[in-house]
Amino acid sequence: MKPPRLTEAEGEWSAIRAQGAGGQNVNKVSNAAQLRFDIRASRLPEAVQQRLLAQADQRISGDGVIVIKAQDHRSLPRNRREALARLQALVDAAATVPRRRVATQPTFGSRQRRLQAKQQRGQVKASRGRVSE
């Protein structure tokens, strides 16, 4: 299932001051972009919303709002594109349905190798004892 392409109108945007190096320009200009995207109020399919909300990501708040801050570039439009691309990547990852794991039996060879390794390890530990005459 392919998720819908997100547009800039679907989130709440705010321009904030960037952190870090940048000289005096950093203190004067609000070039960092902050995107707030409400998962429950979005037009995403229900299954994608549930997978997004189930993720243990620090960018997703308890009330289901994704907050992304982009401040890598010196211009606000580039930071907005960066934030939107990060949000799209998050949604794309949640749109892929995880494959169900089918439980299988260990093969005969893998059991034999495991027991052989345990036996060898036990011999190494047994040889570490005191030397008796």
Structural domain contains residue 49: yes
Q: Is residue 48 part of a domain?
A: yes
Assigned domain for 113 exists = no
Count of structural domains within the chain? 1
3-class secondary structure, 62 = coil
User: Is residue 71 within 8 Å of 34, Cβ to Cβ?
Assistant: no
Contact partners, residue 16, CB within 8 Å, separation at least 6: 30, 32, 33, 34, 69
Asked if the structure places residue 112 within a domain, the reply is no
The answer to the question of residue 127 being in a domain is no
Outline where 14-107 has alpha helix (H).
24-28, 46-54, 76-95
Residue 105 lies in a domain: no
- CATH number of the domain residue 41 falls in: 3.30.160.20
pTM score of the predicted model:
0.69
Domain residues for the domain of 40 are 8-95
What does each of the 133 residues of the chain score in pLDDT, given as a tens digit? Answer: 676 788 888 888 988 888 876 667 667 778 889 999 998 888 888 998 899 889 888 888 888 899 999 988 888 899 999 999 999 999 999 888 889 999 999 999 999 999 999 999 999 999 998 877 7
CA distances to 19, 32, 52, 131 from 27, in Å: 9, 12, 35, 72
